[in-house]
Each structure stands twice: as structure tokens, then as C-alpha cells.
Amino acid sequence: KEALQNPEHPWTKEETMEVLISEQEEQLVLKQEAEDKEEETFPCLTCGENFLKKQHLMFHMSTHTGHKIYECLSCGKIFKKKSNLDAHIRIHTGEKSFSCTICKENFTQKSNLTRHIRIHTGEKPFECLSCGKSFTQKSNLDTHIRIHTGEKPFSCNICKENFTDKSNFTSHMRIHTGEKPFSSTICNKEFTDQSHSTSHRRTHTGEKPFSCTICNENFAHKSSVNKHIRIHTGEKPFECLSCGKSFTLKSHLDTHIRTHTGEKPFSCTICNDNFTQKSNLTRHLRFHTGEKPFSCTICNENFTQKSNLTRHMRIHTGEKPFSCTICNENFTQKSSLTKHMRIHTGEKPFECLSCEKSFTQKSHLDSHIRIHTGEKPFSCTICNKNFTEKGHLTSHMRIHTSVKPFSCTICNENFSDKTHLVRHMRIHTGEKPFSSTICKDNFTQKSSFTKHIRIHTGEKPRR
């Protein structure tokens, strides 16, 4: 076929007939296959002839129009313009002749460079007429418009999932095929999506080409800077259709929707416990594996969750960012402030169904219930002693490890338990918070106060 279109090649009648017969035979075979598979044909609008491949129709049309067409010798793809073929060939050669003058990133096509430059300039020339939101690329606008219309034109014929965006559909299909066509040139890790490969490359180079125009913080991924910008703007573009609550991230909306549906798609393969979020499953699995990937750089204590490490660090720094608006007492944790507020309000929202006793904290209720059940679910792995509360086990473990994470800021004495530190601090402050309502005598420790009260009541301690 290539040679037929080359006017410089002298053809004999026999050669021409041989090629035409070969073409006819191929058409007959393909036609039979198409009938078997009920595939569509591509008709020529000029002469009515039908073709089973779009490429064959395009070759044929050039005989009517006289326009030259260009075929990629590597993959057979056809182009009407030589410039399009040249750009396509760079996919095979890896050539990237268009370079960004700002961050030096290289591109195979000028149009890709033009789109990339808008990241630096902030230009968004494509605006949605429905909501006024602007985009750097027309394809992104087209995809966005489908949010308003609800259209999902790309459907997976394997699992029937539908997509608003062709690139998302293409990436999804690779889940079924297992294809990973994009490979890291540094560590050979393979990816289903080019954007994932590009993002991964930045873990090696440390490149952060996306900058916040407000605070100048830099990011490795465009999605990260987009999410970050919403901190400044307060934008929450993802709205729950059930309750109207809005979110800055789609992932947060997806998680929230599960509170309405009750869906828990992430399952533990060990105990079959189900979770609404993948991050919750990841944290849960650490209970089975014993993994504690977050380590304190000061005392080397390890934690299963980053949030636990963050809270722990405040022990060392003394930071108490949560303040009571009534008595101005400060706390290291928001949950501690919430519990504290119930002292002022008198609220006890957690009630025991066995004896109707109420508690300010759920953990206190859980511990109390074990009085009825006798359960001691927290066991020391060293001496096998059992405890009703996890906090008691944690404190007990420090007997074995000799860890004393609570330090006095005045004399630097260390303690294994926070309550011991609190009692110790009263030596320095002279505080005596436990007062007898009968004789007004004050005490530094509750145990001393309890013993004293028995003098007035005549009560004898239990043996």
C-alpha cells in the first residue's frame, strides 16, 4: 500500500494486479470476520464502497481527494498532516524538543508545552458557562461540564463502570488487563498511568514545579497545589446531595457519603472487620502486624498512627493548643478539651445500660462495663498480667521498658505515668486541690484526702 502511493515507483500491470488482488482477499477475510462479530463498516461517502478498517477508508479517500496521508511505520497509525505524524513519532523515539524556560521540563509536543506554561502563569482561558469555573485545558472544561450534565460517556465493557473522562476510562481498563506501559527510568517501577509515572519521577528528583501563588509553598503534584489553594480560598466544591454538606476534597465527600449508605468497602483479611476508609484499614492492620512506623526523635517511643506521635510530641514541647473558653485551662488534645468542657456543663452522655450510671467519657463507660462483665482484654506480652483499660496496660509496660516519658520542667525528674508527674508538680507549686468540706483542711493527693475524710465519717477502709 505504501508503494502504491509513491509516484516515483514504476509499477508493472502484473505487480499492480497482484497487490489489488491481495487487497481484495484481505477485504473478504476482514468482511467475514466483521459479519461474525457484527462489526460496523466504514463507507466511502464519495463512491459508496465499504471498508472494515478506518485506515483503509482513509487510504481510499486519498484517491478521490488527491490529498497525501501519512502513516507511522512503527504502529500503522494514520495522519492527515505531516506535523501530526512528526509529533506522534516522538512518542516512539522519546524525543522531547520543547522545553519550559521556567522549570526546564521537556515535552514531545508544542501544545503540551503551551498547556504546561499555564501552570506557571496561572492562565485559565476555558470558562464554564454554568458555574464560572475556569480551566487551563479545553479537555478539562469538557470533563467538568459533565459534572453539571451527569453524562458519563465512557463505559467499561467488563465491569460496566462509567466514566466522565476518557483518560480515566483508559487507566481503569488497565486494571483489568494488568498493563503497565509507563516505566521509571531510575528504578524500573511500572505504572498504569503516565501521570503516576511523572509524579513518581519527582520522588527521585525532588522536583516541586507547582507553586502556591498566595504563600509560595511548592508542591510535586498539581493536585496537591489545587487542594492546598482551598485552604486559602475556603472553597468546598464537593457537595453531598443527601445533606448538603460540602468538602474541599472529593475523597472526603466519598468517605462522607458512606455515612449515609453504610458502605464499608475496605475489609481486613485477618479478622474480616470492615472500614469506610482505606486509611482506617491501614491503621487497623498495624494492630495485627505490630508495626509502629512513627517514631519519637526525642525518646524513641514508637506509634501506630502519626496523630498519636503528634500528640505525644506535645509532652516534650509542652504545647497545649486547645484552650477552655470558660476557665482558660489549656490542653494538648482537642478530645481532652471536649471532655473537660463537660465538667462545666455537667453533661454525662454515656450511660451504663446495666446500672444506669452515667459518664462524661465513653472510655470511662467502657471501663465501667467491665466491672459487670469481669473482662480484662488488655494483656501484657511479657508477664501476662491482664488489665481492664488500655491506659493501665500502657503504664504497666513502662515497668518492663523503664520508659519515663513524663518530665518535670522544674527539676527534670522523670516519671512513667502522667498522674505521678501531676502529683509531683504540686510539691513545686504548693497546690492542694483536695479540700475537706467539714474542716477545710487541704491535701495535695486524693488518696490523702480520702483517708482524712474517714476521720470525720468513722468509715473503716476495706481490707
Per-residue pLDDT of 300-331, as tens digits, reads 899 988 888 988 998 899 899 889 998 889 99
Of the CA atoms within 13 Å of residue 152, those in its CB half-sphere come to 9
In 292-382, where do the E strands start and end?
294-295, 302-303, 322-323, 330-331, 350-351, 358-359, 378-379
pLDDT for residue 19: 43
User: What is the percent of the chain with per-residue pLDDT over 70, rounded to a whole number?
Assistant: 88
Those residues with Cβ within 8 angstroms of residue 355's Cβ, 6 or more apart along the chain or in another chain: 372
Pairing state between β 386-387 and 406-407: unpaired
| Of residues 147, 122, 125, 144, the one with CA closest to residue 134 | 125
Q: Which CATH number fits domain 53-122: 3.40.1180.10, 3.30.160.60, 2.60.40.420, 3.40.1190.20?
A: 3.30.160.60
Q: Is the pLDDT of residue 401 over 80?
A: yes
Instruction: With cut-offs at 50, 70 and 90, classify the pLDDT of residue 456.
Output: confident
Q: What is the mean pLDDT of residues 169-182?
A: 85
pLDDT for residue 88: 81
pLDDT for residue 367: 87
Measured CA to CA, the distance from residue 359 to residue 368 in angstroms comes to: 9
Which pTM was predicted? 0.37
Mean pLDDT of the chain: 83
Q: Is the pLDDT of residue 29 over 80?
A: no
Those residues with Cβ within 8 angstroms of residue 158's Cβ, 6 or more apart along the chain or in another chain: 173, 176
pLDDT for residue 143: 86
User: Using one digit for the tens of pLDDT, what is the confidence trace for 221-279?
Assistant: 888 888 888 888 888 888 898 898 998 888 889 889 988 998 988 899 999 899 988 88
What is the per-residue burial (b if ≥16 Cβ within 10 Å, else e) of 115-136? bbeebeeeeeebeeeeeeeebb
What is the per-residue burial (b if ≥16 Cβ within 10 Å, else e) of 241-256? eeeeeebbeeebbebb
pLDDT for residue 381: 92
| The C-alpha cell that represents 445 in the structure block | 493527693
Cα dihedral sign for 423, 424, 427, 430? Answer: negative
Instruction: With cut-offs at 50, 70 and 90, classify the pLDDT of residue 13.
Output: very low
Per-domain boundaries in the chain: 53-122
Q: Cβ(320)–Cβ(331) under 8 Å?
A: yes
pLDDT top residue among 35 and 231: 231
Instruction: With cut-offs at 50, 70 and 90, classify the pLDDT of residue 28.
Output: low
pLDDT for residue 2: 45
Among 86-90, 120-124, 246-250, 398-402, the range scoring the smallest mean pLDDT is 86-90
Q: What is the mean pLDDT of residues 407-420?
A: 90
